């Protein structure tokens, strides 16, 4: 099983604890990049730390959790090479792996329950990227590569 990076702010802390247990029970090696307590904190710090760790590995994978998942996804997607997808169901988790080769899953603790979050995570981690035509589109995401007609 692969190493999974995980991080949250205070609003995602409880769900992070549940997901860590779930992933560890499956045999994943889980690295927690904070926060370390449910006290109020600022989500971008944790998004940036996690993204640096994901990018430092050849096929790094991460999970970011905040109240909505939105702030984490906005911050994470500032990193070139990070494709962070906010998913609220298994369909999105499967599609973003197959088409976007997403390497970071974002979840909102105030949006999904622990059971659904675990199921979304399992699909995200278990779905392969399709490649092919999707790679051209992913390459075009980087502004330096995109040609606007």
- Give the footprint of ligand RB5 on residues 49-108 (CB under 6 A): 66-68, 70-71
99 catalytically annotated:
yes
Nearer to ligand RB5, 28 or 35 (CB): 35
Catalytic residue selected from 35, 66, 87, 106 = 66
Distance CA 46, CA 35 (A): 7
Nearer to ligand RB5, 28 or 86 (CB): 86
Nearer to ligand RB5, 60 or 67 (CB): 67
22 catalytically annotated:
no
Query: DSSP letters along 19-83, please?
Result: HHHHHHHTT-EEEE-S--SSS---HHHHHHHHHHHHHTSTT--EEEEESSSHHHHHHHTTSTT--
- Residues of this chain that interact with ligand RB5 (CB under 6 A) are 9, 11, 43, 66-68, 70-71
């Amino acid at each position: 099983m692969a190493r999974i990076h995980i991080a949250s702010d205070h609003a995602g802390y409880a769900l992070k604890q549940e997901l860590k247990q779930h992933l560890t029970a499956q045999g994943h090696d889980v690295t927690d990049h904070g926060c370390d307590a449910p006290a109020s904190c600022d989500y971008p710090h944790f998004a940036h730390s996690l993204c640096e760790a994901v990018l430092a590995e050849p096929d790094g994978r991460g999970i970011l959790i905040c109240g909505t998942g939105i702030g984490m996804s906005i911050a994470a997607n500032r990193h070139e090479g990070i494709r962070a997808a906010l998913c609220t169901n298994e369909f999105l988790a499967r599609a973003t792996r197959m088409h976007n080769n997403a390497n970071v899953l974002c979840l909102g603790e105030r949006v999904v329950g622990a059971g659904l979050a675990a199921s979304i995570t399992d699909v995200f981690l278990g779905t392969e990227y399709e490649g092919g035509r999707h790679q051209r589109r992913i390459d075009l995401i980087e502004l330096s590569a995109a040609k606007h007609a």
